[in-house]
Structure 1
């Protein structure tokens, strides 16, 4: 039988190699917060004509009209999304008029919204609270659900460890993409992150539930062997479930438009990470904890 857990420290090392660049990116650059969290304005307009738009030309046009701190996105070559500091109705009219004069086309206002800095801070605070409450709720639920298993608390802690692994990868990669490709952390990102957390916990529970069944079935078998058997038995199911979701998300990334592209890619990254962490992090941590291997970390190589 395939011995997956034999190389568990390799899996931990791979996770660290993926997480460390993201952690450093957040520490150095911070998160590219959108107006949902910082306050500001978002203007979405449609150009009624066959013209070639570029973000650089639009940014120059905005700079010339006094809007220097802005982020520009182009969707479907005729829809322009502008994020900038708080803009009033007068400034909005100036921008639309500037576009009409510059490109000699009619401009249709699709949407306009402004968020004050106080509201932005409140949203950010509530987002952090939501994640924290979800984590504690998950810990309590798993501990209770696995109360028939010895040391059920460990299963909750390992699920939280996998959850934090996935959240760290998603947040860190977003910080890197924000630095180089102008990605932003907005309300859709928060939705994607919470969904990833849900998938991560679900995958971990599937593995843990199989471990519980096998512990009752193979009472005289070594704990590591039971956990390894459980991981092998759930491997196909986890991969197939992930591929089904990824194919759907890939189609959305290709044909869903720019407005949800970042959301979909974030989901894809998180789902892949969630499957990896539930199989190759959460379950192996249970074995490390059961065998108290940390006592030998500085005595010999446990690999």
Structure 2
């Protein structure tokens, strides 16, 4: 019979080898909170192939955002992208930056929402400056005046009824003195007056995503995240104490076995949390990876999985303790681990295969979330087998194996 318990110190050293570098990375600022925690704007755009992060940062810095962090990104369609993290900006600031970036030749497409080829019922197109042409566009930062009823294909905020289905934000306030109908709406801070009809389509194909979170919301999310992990730990401890309350003491007495089970499960859970945090701190140092609200979701999922797997092992330990078929506590735990080892590994592998597929082929927006889950599931499987149960043995027998009084055999242990 393979002696897992006898090699427990090696397993503890392996855990320390994983945790200590992560702790060093955490203490040296490797954890990089995203805008969900710090507040700010996350803006992702498609850029031309030869555009560098230095060029983008220079534009942002020259226009009042020296704090900006610029990173390369690969979009789902394999095109080049840029992620910009900067202090919170409103729509007017966003439009100003979009114009500056466009003037620098950075976006790969249209970064400012515009109406392409708007036409009157007679077929006349109106350019950005209001000059009738047949091929020009009307950008939302210019004033549009027409003698026809406005029929927009983007969002319209007007004094008349609209039926929008898409969004168009203008740099000017929109007013209308005639009936307004269409498939969208125009909103802004200047004036677009109209008494007739203008039709067209909107484009903003260079922008991938834009997310703004205020500092107050970011602080609230941080507090809630800490509270959630603390509440989960206490709930798990209380549940395990209740679930294993009838486990008999096996050796010299002292702290009840039920409480030991709960504390060891929480320690193993914290092991998994530290492993995931440590890996992300190292990745933060090396690649600038940030954590967001989805990361907290992943952590709570890892906590749940870790405890779930630990309970399966502990339940078998409880059953074998009641039978007292082995002469020492360490032998009971070792036999219980061997009974549940294949089940634990097989169950975890099915999850690991699924997460690996998501990591390789899923979208970029969930990549960090999936990575946190994958690391946590692997760590949770390890800690359930090689940490949680072995801590019970250490608590009972010390760091060196000390046999408990010989028990009375009352039955045979079953296998998983």
Report the CA distance between 1:88 and its aligned residue.
Answer: 1.9
Q: Does 1:155 align with 2:253?
A: no
Mark the CA change 1:295 to 1:117 in structure 2 (over 3 Å): closer, same or farther: farther
Show structure 2 runs of 5+ residues with no match: 112-203, 249-256, 403-416
Mark the CA change 1:267 to 1:54 in structure 2 (over 3 Å): closer, same or farther: farther
- List aligned pairs for 1:70-81, cutoff 5 A: 70-76=69-75, 77-81=79-83
Per-residue deviation, residues 90-137 of structure 1 (Å, max 9, x unmatched): 221123223333146323244433222222111111110110000000
**In 2, are the aligned partners of 1:41 and 1:112 still within 8 Å (CA)?**
yes
**In 2, are the aligned partners of 1:75 and 1:257 still within 8 Å (CA)?**
no
TM-score, L = length of structure 1:
0.90
Report the CA distance between 1:228 and its aligned residue.
Answer: 0.3
Mapped to 1, the partners of 2:344 and 2:209 lie a distance apart of 41
Equivalent residue for 1:213, pick from 294, 319, 323: 319
Could you say which residue in structure 2 is the equivalent of 1:96?
98
Could you say which residue in structure 1 is the equivalent of 2:171?
none
Q: Does 1:223 align with 2:294?
A: no
Mapped to 2, the partners of 1:163 and 1:200 lie a distance apart of 6
CA RMSD of aligned residues (A): 2.2
| SS class of match (1:29) | coil
Show structure 1 runs of 5+ residues with no match: 297-303
**In 2, are the aligned partners of 1:75 and 1:259 still within 8 Å (CA)?**
no
Could you say which residue in structure 2 is the equivalent of 1:9?
9
Equivalent residue for 1:63, pick from 61, 75, 82: 61
Q: Does 1:182 align with 2:288?
A: yes
Report the CA distance between 1:44 and its aligned residue.
Answer: 3.2
Structure possessing the higher radius of gyration over alpha carbons = 2
Equivalent residue for 2:393, pick from 279, 284, 287: 287
Bigger RCO of structures 1 and 2 (CA < 8 A, at least 6 apart)? 1
Higher helix share: 1
Report the CA distance between 1:294 and its aligned residue.
Answer: 7.8
TM-score, L = length of structure 2:
0.66
| SS class of match (1:45) | strand
**In 1, are the aligned partners of 2:30 and 2:280 still within 8 Å (CA)?**
no
